[in-house]
Structure 1
């Protein structure tokens, strides 16, 4: 009986660890790196394509939302940009493959310009990449 309880406790702890572990694969790291580099390429030009487009603001610093929810919101925001869609398609594809959600809630009360949204997304994905790298190193 004592062994059974210990085994059950270990399994519960392991299940909790697995459930709380975010995006920890080399594929995820590659996709995050691609997103960050894609945003840097868009920002290198004289003008970010469609940078005057207003988009919903995503609260990347909101600790109440999961990484998957924030990545889903970012993908949804970029998917709604109809002009210059081909420029953002690689970002959207990578974001969608990272979050794996079919839909997410998106608050459209606050809007920002796309030129301000892209650097915020780049900073967020870069931070995720660093956190995953540190987790993988441990």
Structure 2
């Protein structure tokens, strides 16, 4: 009888732990995959004249910064592109809805071409998508 009680208690504790862990929402996964898809479309299509535009470099590999901060910085960097704004507006909107911040700090000391920025952003969002999908599967 003690074994049954211990097993039941262990199951209850496990169920409580699982219930208290927030699961990533499928809407954020959809937005991440949408961002990645849009970047791939931009890179596959005809070269957009704005790809020669310089934007602030975002340190996507910086482990000290939160993912939300990096998404905010990416949105801010893209929002400063004035030419071809219509091409990048859906990306900006998706990024802004993911990070939920109103502003973030972005240094303009280092700039890169937009044609180099977009693949880095695509790799970052794809890694986030994989991470959140793996977390949801567990």
TM over 0.5: yes
- Distance in 2, matches of 1:128 and 1:49, equals 29
1:89 matched residue in structure 2: 89
Q: Does 1:59 align with 2:59?
A: yes
Whole-angstrom distance in 2 between the partners of 1:94 and 1:35: 7
Residues 35 and 91 in structure 1, CA contact (< 8 A), matched pair in contact too: yes
Answer with 43-52 or 94-103: which moved more. Answer: 43-52
5+ long unaligned stretches in structure 1: 1-9
Residue 129 (structure 2) pairs with residue 122 (structure 1): no
How many residues end up aligned between the 2 structures? 121
Inter-partner Cα distance in structure 2 for 1:113 and 1:124: 17
Where does residue 134 of structure 2 map in the other structure?
134
How far did residue 48 of structure 1 move?
Answer: 3.5
1:51 counterpart SS class: helix
Q: TM-score, normalised by structure 1?
A: 0.83
TM-score (norm 2): 0.83
Q: How far off its partner does 1:49 sit?
A: 4.2
Instruction: Quote the Cα distance in structure 1 between the aligned partners of 2:60 and 2:73.
Output: 10
- For residues 1-138 of structure 1, the aligned pairs below 5 Å read 24-138=24-138
User: CA shift at 1:47, angstroms?
Assistant: 1.1
Moved over 4 A (4+): none
Question: Is the Cα–Cα contact under 8 Å of residues 42 and 49 in structure 1 kept in the other structure?
Answer: no
Q: Distance in 1 between matches of 2:47 and 2:30?
A: 26
**1: CA distance between counterparts of 2:74 and 2:39?**
13
- Mark the structure with the bigger radius of gyration: 2
Structure 2 regions of 5+ residues with no counterpart?
A: 1-12
For each residue in 1:58-87, what CA deviation from the matched residue of structure 2 results, as whole angstroms up to 9, or x when unmatched? 000000100000000000000000000000
Deviation at 1:46, TM superposition (A): 3.2
